[in-house]
Amino acid sequence: MTTHDPDPEPDPELARLLQDWSVPALPDSLDERVKTLFRTRAPRVPLWRRFFATSIRIPLPAALAVLLLLLAAVWWRPSTTVPPEVDSADSPEPTQSARYETREGFTGSLAGFEPVREMNVTVLPEGGSQ
């Protein structure tokens, strides 16, 4: 047999010994002895300390990408200005006539929108007033 031989010749005597050999039975107290030895050598650390000492490994490019996305989301978020609440249903006087107006670049949401309880509509002729 040479040192470069990947598959050595089988040894018939070793094969016979392996077939006849049986694994000895484990003692019943082995589990308890192993647990006790582990507990004495590895002291128990409180859960809160393990929580604050835990680290998560994240590849640097992934962490930078998430950071840039968060910064972009904060930078380009739409302004959320809430107009003062005016409940015109409680006042008996008409306030202003409604006109259809569009503003360029207006972006907003209907968050917090509540419809009026009662609507009174007055139609005015164009260019005229009442």
Over the chain (130 residues), what is each successive 10-residue block's mean pLDDT?
71 91 88 91 89 91 94 80 58 58 65 82 75
What is the pLDDT at residue 115? 82
**What single-letter amino acid sits at 24?**
P
Q: CA 20, 25, 31 angle in degrees (round to 5)?
A: 150
What is the pLDDT at residue 59? 95
pTM over 0.85: no
Q: Give every CB contact of residue 86 below 8 A, 6+ residues apart in sequence.
A: 95
